[in-house]
Chain A
Amino acid sequence: MSYSSILEWITFHNPMDNPFYPFGDLYNLPYDWAYKIWEFLGGLVAWLINLLFPGNVVSTWLISDQVVNVFALLLFMLIIFLVVFVGTLLSLWEERKVLGRMMDRRGTQVGLKGFLQCVADGLKTFMKENVVPKKVDKMTYMWTVSLVIGTSVLIACMIPLSDRWFVVSYDTGLLIIMALFALAPFFILVSGWAQNNKYSLIGGMRAAELMISYEIPMLILIGTVILMAGSFNISDIVHAQYDTVWYFIPQVIGMITFFWCSIAESERVPFDLAEAEAELVEGWQTEYAGMKWGLIMLADYFRGYVACAMGVILYFGGWMLPGIGDLNNAMPEIVFLLKTWLMFFMMIWVRATLARVRTDQILNIGWKIFTPLAVINLLIVVLLKFGGVF
């Protein structure tokens, strides 16, 4: 067997030519990158093995369509997660800095203008002892926190950053994200019960109370947007906004209401009843120590990121900017993330301004203010639809 050049092993194919391409007719940028990375790495390994054992089976197996697809999918998951993770850490950093400046402080100072504070926090919580109290219900205690963190990370990864940067793009994409988003309060309630602690129990109850007050208007608002766009598909909603106007113009009431509801959904100040650290010593998180708590905090920021991203998708045109034509294809992901961070800035602003609402006020706010506003918004949209404007 003669020497084969490395160029015969590393060939950059179009991933869409692969018969096992998982995204149908849609081009997927991170999958493309992952595919090319694996073609390079796998090709290199295959070439090396082929040098040692010419004509073996493993080399051809490594660069066969199926195997490249599997490894490309693994790398694809990694890329998607890393981008969301870094984006969330950046929003955490933004919160620290902006909140600091709003209070006339400097904010965090650790490395890279304070960005490395997140890393320092992660390392610190990682090195803490894994304390589990004696009298907790261990199974529920561990499962609920895992599910809260898991669903948060899952929905954060499921938010598409653009037409070419998505995990799944199918016709009920919005619905499944909202369904998973609304799951956390159930786990919080069960977790508060499982921890055998009065603070946690009150925190869990409050999470449930919070959920019954904001979930209805929020779903009505999402339904309104879906009615206006005529589709559950996130990509379709964004393109419908690009074709007409951003939906915050006809639905300004809905936008404001959704903003407050999404603050409540991600349990941030002024709706952080469940973890009211002043009254309830971190509420339902009281008994979670070390890395569990660190991951809960990270999940909180994942949920904040998702709430902002949903606001951007539903009301601010997603990854498209009007009036720049084909330039929209240049860097839609960056545009989307910038819009998300701008939305997050608004959340930080609210956090810097307002105090936490009382438990008796939240139901009033949810049912007497948010729900009527959502219904009024729905009526406006229905009138616009019947009037033939949209």
Chain B
Amino acid sequence: MAMKYLDKYPKDTAKGLWVVKPMWTVMKLFAKVIPRRSMTIMYPYEKEWIPDNYRGRPGLQFDKCVGCGLCARMCPTACICLVETTDDEGKKVKRPQVNLGRCMMCGYCAEYCPVDAMTVTPEIELAEYTREDLIYGPRRLRFEGVNEMMEVHIEEHLISNVQKGILDQPTSAFEVDRPVLEEAKCIGCQKCFKVCPVGAIEMYEAGVNEKGKPKKIPRIDTDKCICCKNCVDDCPKSCLHIKEVL
């Protein structure tokens, strides 16, 4: 038997009169609110304070960037691509270009930048007249007054540290994870050597291959390496992989 509406909510006429409590609440709030200024901000004339590490548009420190392309790989909306430009000395280098029409200001590019060249900026007023104007080249991405608070990092607690009881030393993955080589698979094609943006890989003679010819295999300078994974991605025989430090 279905429950009647009136059984569930019996009519209480006295309750209908009871509007005093909400009115009292509103008056209390009104009395609390009226001495101070209201929450509304007169936006174009006054602006809210924005912290330095606010996820605004990405900014780029051109000289710090090594062109590893990790930002382009990590971007969830695929709005970053590497373009070829000339640096201050006239050399051809690859630097990121950001399409801010697609950017969702997540700040991953800045978090994953191994050299902290990509930063977040507190700049949020980005309106332009055309869509083309929203594409920021590497030089235009520069932000005046960049400081270290804008260089946001992605840090993690290593499991080994936690097991040892060290909880206050987060580590950047780019400092500890390093590529390792399976020498047996390597064919000595030198692709990793060519693709490394920081020159951390050098090739050295290491015996001969199965055809009896001398072959060069890479040696990775762990101090120089920034763990950009370019060598891992470009290896044709999948003989490089990142060894995670746990």
- Chain A residues engaging chain B, CB cutoff 8 angstroms: 100-102, 104-106, 109, 349-350, 352-354, 361, 364-365, 368-369
Partner of A105, one of B16, B30, B38: B38
Contact present for A104 and B23 (CB under 8 Å): no
Taking CB atoms, residues of chain A closer than 8 Å to B19 are 350, 353-354
Taking CB atoms, residues of chain A closer than 8 Å to B27 are 349
Docked Cα-Cα span, A354 to B23, in Å, equals 8
Interface of B: prevailing SS: helix
Partner of A104, one of B11, B22, B38: B38
Contact present for B23 and A102 (CB under 8 Å): no
Docked Cα-Cα span, A369 to B25, in Å, equals 23
Least distance between B127 CB and chain A CB atoms (Å): 23
Residues of chain B in range 6-43 having any CB-CB distance to chain A below 8 Å? 11, 13, 16-17, 19, 22-23, 25-27, 29-30, 33-34, 38-40, 42
B33 nearest CB neighbor, chain A only: A104
Contact present for A349 and B13 (CB under 8 Å): no
Contact present for A101 and B13 (CB under 8 Å): no
Contact present for A369 and B39 (CB under 8 Å): no
Known: A101-B33, A353-B26, A368-B13. 18 other contacts (CB 8 A): A101-B38, A102-B26, A102-B29, A102-B33, A104-B38, A104-B39, A104-B40, A105-B38, A105-B39, A106-B38, A106-B42, A349-B27, A350-B19, A350-B23, A353-B22, A353-B25, A364-B16, A369-B17
Q: Which of A104, A106, A364 has its CB near the most chain B CB atoms (within 10 A)?
A: A104
Contact present for B26 and A349 (CB under 8 Å): yes
Instruction: Offer 19 A-B interface pairs, CB within 8 angstroms, sorted by A.
Output: A100-B38, A101-B30, A101-B38, A102-B29, A102-B30, A104-B38, A104-B39, A106-B38, A106-B40, A109-B42, A349-B27, A350-B19, A353-B19, A354-B23, A364-B13, A364-B16, A365-B16, A369-B13, A369-B17
Taking CB atoms, residues of chain B closer than 8 Å to A100 are 38
Least distance between A351 CB and chain B CB atoms (Å): 10
Contact present for A364 and B11 (CB under 8 Å): yes
Taking CB atoms, residues of chain B closer than 8 Å to A102 are 26, 29-30, 33
B34 nearest CB neighbor, chain A only: A101
Least distance between A362 CB and chain B CB atoms (Å): 10
Taking CB atoms, residues of chain B closer than 8 Å to A369 are 13, 16-17
Taking CB atoms, residues of chain B closer than 8 Å to A368 are 13
Taking CB atoms, residues of chain B closer than 8 Å to A349 are 23, 26-27, 30
Residues of chain B in range 90-148 having any CB-CB distance to chain A below 8 Å? none
Contact present for A361 and B40 (CB under 8 Å): no
Docked Cα-Cα span, A106 to B27, in Å, equals 17
Least distance between A289 CB and chain B CB atoms (Å): 31
Least distance between A354 CB and chain B CB atoms (Å): 6
Least distance between B227 CB and chain A CB atoms (Å): 49
Taking CB atoms, residues of chain A closer than 8 Å to B25 are 353
Docked Cα-Cα span, A101 to B19, in Å, equals 21
Contact present for B23 and A105 (CB under 8 Å): no
Docked Cα-Cα span, A105 to B42, in Å, equals 11
Docked Cα-Cα span, A349 to B34, in Å, equals 14
Least distance between B164 CB and chain A CB atoms (Å): 50
Docked Cα-Cα span, A354 to B11, in Å, equals 19
Contact present for B26 and A352 (CB under 8 Å): yes
Taking CB atoms, residues of chain A closer than 8 Å to B40 are 104-106
Least distance between A38 CB and chain B CB atoms (Å): 46
Partner of B16, one of A101, A106, A361: A361
Contact present for B22 and A354 (CB under 8 Å): yes
Docked Cα-Cα span, A361 to B34, in Å, equals 34
Docked Cα-Cα span, A350 to B25, in Å, equals 12
Least distance between B222 CB and chain A CB atoms (Å): 57
Residues of chain B in range 160-216 having any CB-CB distance to chain A below 8 Å? none
Docked Cα-Cα span, A36 to B121, in Å, equals 70
Taking CB atoms, residues of chain A closer than 8 Å to B38 are 100-101, 104-106
A100 nearest CB neighbor, chain B only: B38
Docked Cα-Cα span, A201 to B61, in Å, equals 66
Least distance between B11 CB and chain A CB atoms (Å): 7
Taking CB atoms, residues of chain B closer than 8 Å to A106 are 38, 40, 42
Least distance between A248 CB and chain B CB atoms (Å): 17
The 10 closest A-B pairs by CB, nearest first: A353-B26, A106-B40, A353-B23, A104-B39, A106-B38, A353-B22, A368-B13, A104-B33, A102-B30, A105-B40
Taking CB atoms, residues of chain A closer than 8 Å to B17 are 369
